[in-house]
Amino acid sequence: MGDATAASYNYKMFKCFHRKFKTSEAGPPPDVKDIFSKFANGGELMSPDQFRAFLTDHQAEKPKDVSLADAKRILHEFSLRRQPKDPKDSKDKTPAAVAHHEQGLNLDDFFHFLFEEEFNGPIKRQVHHDMTAPLSHYFIYTGHNSYLTGNQLSSDCSDVPIIKALEKGVKVIELDLWPTSSKEDVQVYHGRTLTTPVTLVKCLKSIKEHAFVKSPYPVVITFEDHLTTKLRVKVAEMVTQIFGDTLYYPETEDPMKEFPSPEFLKHRIIISTKPPKVGEGSDRDSSEESERSDSDKDVEGKPAIDIKPVQSEAPEYVELITIHAGKPQGGLKEALAIGDKVRRLSLSEQKLESAAEDHGTDIVRFTQRNILRVYPKGTRVTSSNYQPHVGWMHGAQMVAFNMQRHDKSLWLMHGMFRANGGCGYLKKPGFLMHKGPNDEVFDPKRTLIATKTLKVKVYMGTGWHLDFSQTHFDTFSPPDFYTKVHIVGVPADCAKHKTRIIEDDWTPVWDEEFTFPLTIPELAILRIEVREYDRSEKDDYGGQTCFPVSELRTGIRSVPLYDKKGEKYASVRLLMRFQFESNLTSV
């Protein structure tokens, strides 16, 4: 290689690396400039009073929730965050400078404020649903085989995934109870598999320690019981000793006529399982009598589940059961019958889909007072998950997911339960609880018209250069980002769009808007995913997030992105706008 050629090559390489490491800071998009000018009345500074008008008029904050004093407080807190942490990074770090910033925002300050999720996030951070209705009125964040670290056949069983689930806000933990080989103790594992067990006592202690780290609302433990009478008595002793006054159970042995509310059950742990009958406590394998079976056998030819109190060989165990459970052992019509006592019914995802064909309104009517738990079909040995909306649109409170498998379905579940302050309980939409004068209820198979339109504008993104290495996406050039925007909900509402690809830019600006007509916005989830275009291989992952459409705050918002495991990136976020339009016209 000659000197000239080598020099040319080195120059090109220098340009590539220089281009890769150079991160230009994009300025405010046109909409942001226009909004600033409007509320600052054409001036160079947006005063606290003008800032308050922006929050109420453009961001649709309720005036009663944002007084002038509140606006000044927000500006004060933002001004403190706006200052560099290292005094050497700024000559303008004096209290006088902070006070000056509190007099209002210039365009650059306003632009940076919009990116601050703490002040300007896409959904509310607080619990704001009515929490005083019975448990059956709520969707509840529910785990499946909560003790498994991986697949359903050979992974380890541990309390670690239980702890992680509770820290995420999961409020229903499932434990499969089996005797040890000596028949003297109780262990937790997935029966008839090679999964290694964990002791029940370890799981219970971890539940007690982490049950309320995310929110004070109740934790439900569902037992799949394969025990002898002797061991059920031992479980009762464990549960009462470990949980103490935290454990809630009815004072009477009769099943309840109405479930308590999440508010009433704050800081309480409750047990849900099938009450054992006489003869189910022998030393033989009792898996046939457990509340469910992964084999998904047809439910024909057996009597419907009996929800009346039954004589038991372990009354100490039975009296601790707050939510009596079972699976259908007769015709589904009988299993869904409405009695005067409330209970929980379990169906596999397959059984639910089958039942929905002919019994959709019966399921909705059942879930208005009773609890329906849906669990993954037995063939999901890799711990994959399913589409949750079939359960939700029929009112199923416990749509049980494998929390250890970080697939797109789990992203949706994480997103759904970011609602209501992430407390693990979401009040079901009114149409699922409504009953007409002739006992008619919502029909999930009915064709509906779009009542609302969501407009989503993707302005720009930032933060990848801080959270990723410079060579993570491309070795010799900046990344080529694009954003995918999906609505996931009832079939009529599902839609997807994507922005154009912005080449060679760590701070991509798209400035594109998409429109989504919605028939049931109450159950729609907005899914956002950023990818990095790769010409030769699969596009690289650049972050994702999901939010319930019903929780979106209108206006321009800072949208944080998460990694594949659902952990929030420190810096990566999008600047987006959300607007709603009603499709209903007055006559």
CA distances from 313 to 195, 276, 278, 318, 474 (A): 30, 8, 6, 9, 66
Query: Which pLDDT does position 298 carry in this prediction?
Result: 35
Which of 54, 79, 114 delimits the end of a domain?
114
pLDDT tops 50 at residue 190: yes
Which of 400, 433, 466 delimits the end of a domain?
433
Query: Which pLDDT does position 289 carry in this prediction?
Result: 39
Averaged pLDDT for residues 176-195: 97
Tokens 């054992």: give the residue: 276
Which of 433, 460, 482 delimits the end of a domain?
433
Q: What is the DSSP letter of 248?
A: -
Assign 482 to helix, strand or coil.
strand
The residue among 328 and 208 whose pLDDT is bigger is 208
Read off the tokens for 526.
């907005």
Same domain, 414 and 536: no
Q: What is the pLDDT of residues 134-162, one digit of tens each?
A: 999 999 999 999 999 999 999 999 999 99
Same domain, 384 and 344: yes
> Which range is least confidently modeled, 82-96, 118-132, 510-524?
82-96
Residues 412/489, Cβ–Cβ less than 8 Å:
no
pLDDT tops 90 at residue 371: yes
pLDDT tops 90 at residue 90: no
Q: How far is CA 8 from the centre of its chain?
A: 53
Residues 421/126, Cβ–Cβ less than 8 Å:
yes
> Which range is least confidently modeled, 248-257, 355-364, 444-453?
248-257
Q: How far is CA 359 from the centre of its chain?
A: 28
Long-range contacts of 72-77 (CB under 8 A, 24+ apart): 72/48, 72/102, 74/119, 75/48, 75/51, 75/101, 75/102, 75/104, 75/105, 76/102, 77/119
Give the C-alpha separation, 534 to 479, whole Å: 9
Averaged pLDDT for residues 341-360: 95
In a domain, 12, yes or no: no
DSSP bridge partners of 187: 178, 199
Query: Which pLDDT does position 333 carry in this prediction?
Result: 85
Assign 581 to helix, strand or coil.
strand
pLDDT tops 80 at residue 120: yes
Give the C-alpha separation, 48 to 51, whole Å: 5
Averaged pLDDT for residues 272-301: 54
In a domain, 298, yes or no: no
Query: Which pLDDT does position 295 carry in this prediction?
Result: 39
The CATH number given to whatever domain includes residue 254 is 3.20.20.190
Number of H helices, E strands in the chain: 17, 20
Closest CA to 423 of 263, 269, 554, 206: 263
Query: Which pLDDT does position 81 carry in this prediction?
Result: 86
pLDDT tops 50 at residue 296: no
Closest CA to 146 of 324, 375, 317: 375
Give the C-alpha separation, 320 to 132, whole Å: 23
Averaged pLDDT for residues 372-377: 98
Q: What is the DSSP letter of 115?
A: T
Averaged pLDDT for residues 340-344: 94
What percent of the chain stands above pLDDT 70?
Answer: 86
In a domain, 438, yes or no: no
What percent of the chain stands above pLDDT 90?
Answer: 79
Query: Which pLDDT does position 299 carry in this prediction?
Result: 34
Closest CA to 135 of 99, 163, 171, 100: 171
Same domain, 416 and 457: no
Mean pLDDT of all residues in the chain? 89
Position 305 confidence tier, pLDDT thresholds 50, 70, 90: very low
pLDDT tops 50 at residue 290: no
Same domain, 248 and 379: yes
Same domain, 495 and 405: no
Q: What is the pLDDT of residues 441-454, one digit of tens each?
A: 999 999 899 999 99
Query: Which pLDDT does position 291 carry in this prediction?
Result: 43
Q: What is the largest CA-CA distance in the chain?
A: 95
φ, ψ at 40 (rounded to 5°): -90, 5
Long-range contacts of 228-231 (CB under 8 A, 24+ apart): 228/179, 228/183, 228/281, 228/282, 228/283, 228/286, 229/276, 229/281, 229/282, 229/313, 229/314, 230/183, 230/281, 231/177, 231/179, 231/183, 231/185, 231/186
Averaged pLDDT for residues 290-308: 39
The residue among 102 and 197 whose pLDDT is bigger is 197
In a domain, 142, yes or no: yes
Q: What is the pLDDT of residues 468-505, one digit of tens each?
A: 999 999 999 999 999 999 999 999 999 999 999 999 99
Query: Which pLDDT does position 330 carry in this prediction?
Result: 74
Same domain, 422 and 353: yes
Quick check: pTM over 0.85? yes
In a domain, 311, yes or no: no
Indicate the number of domains in the chain: 3
Same domain, 154 and 272: yes
Residues 71/55, Cβ–Cβ less than 8 Å:
yes
Averaged pLDDT for residues 5-29: 58
Residues 6+ apart with CB under 8 A from 468: none
Give the C-alpha separation, 579 to 330, whole Å: 48
Query: Which pLDDT does position 23 carry in this prediction?
Result: 62
* Domain carrying residue 255: 135-281+318-433
Tokens 């650049």: give the residue: 542
Position 99 confidence tier, pLDDT thresholds 50, 70, 90: low
254 burial via Cβ count (<10 Å: 0-12, 13-18, 19+): exposed
**What secondary structure does DSSP assign to 32-48, as a single string?**
HHHHHHHHTTTSS-B-H
pLDDT tops 50 at residue 320: yes
Read off the tokens for 423.
């407390």
Long-range contacts of 17-22 (CB under 8 A, 24+ apart): 17/476, 19/477, 19/478, 19/504, 20/470, 20/471, 20/474, 20/476, 20/477, 20/478, 21/470, 22/478
Task: Say which of 101, 190, 389, 465 is annotated catalytic.
Answer: 190
Query: Which pLDDT does position 279 carry in this prediction?
Result: 67
Same domain, 41 and 174: no
Same domain, 142 and 109: no
Give the C-alpha separation, 269 to 322, whole Å: 10
Closest CA to 528 of 582, 464, 484: 484
The CATH number given to whatever domain includes residue 551 is 2.60.40.150
355 burial via Cβ count (<10 Å: 0-12, 13-18, 19+): buried
Closest CA to 391 of 550, 523, 238, 248: 523
Query: Which pLDDT does position 25 carry in this prediction?
Result: 75
Closest CA to 234 of 200, 268, 206, 205: 200
Q: How far is CA 411 from the centre of its chain?
A: 7
Assign 99 to helix, strand or coil.
helix
pLDDT tops 70 at residue 582: yes
Query: Which pLDDT does position 14 carry in this prediction?
Result: 47
Assign 534 to helix, strand or coil.
coil
Query: Which pLDDT does position 12 carry in this prediction?
Result: 44
Query: Which pLDDT does position 326 carry in this prediction?
Result: 82
153 burial via Cβ count (<10 Å: 0-12, 13-18, 19+): middle
> Which range is least confidently modeled, 93-97, 267-271, 354-358, 481-485?
93-97
Query: Which pLDDT does position 13 carry in this prediction?
Result: 45
pLDDT tops 90 at residue 430: yes
Read off the tokens for 283.
């030393």
Read off the tokens for 174.
């499932």
In a domain, 405, yes or no: yes
In a domain, 447, yes or no: no
Give the C-alpha separation, 145 to 170, whole Å: 13
**What secondary structure does DSSP assign to 177-244, as a single string?**
EEE-TTSSSEEE--TTS-PBPEEHHHHHHHHHHHTTSS-SS-EEEEEEE---HHHHHHHHHHHHHHHG
Per the annotation, the verdict on 144 as an active-site residue is yes
In a domain, 193, yes or no: yes
Same domain, 427 and 467: no
Same domain, 82 and 189: no
Averaged pLDDT for residues 182-187: 96
Task: Say which of 144, 414, 465, 486 is annotated catalytic.
Answer: 144
Read off the tokens for 189.
């594992």
Read off the tokens for 342.
């409330």
Query: Which pLDDT does position 21 carry in this prediction?
Result: 53
Residues 220/208, Cβ–Cβ less than 8 Å:
no
Same domain, 267 and 170: yes
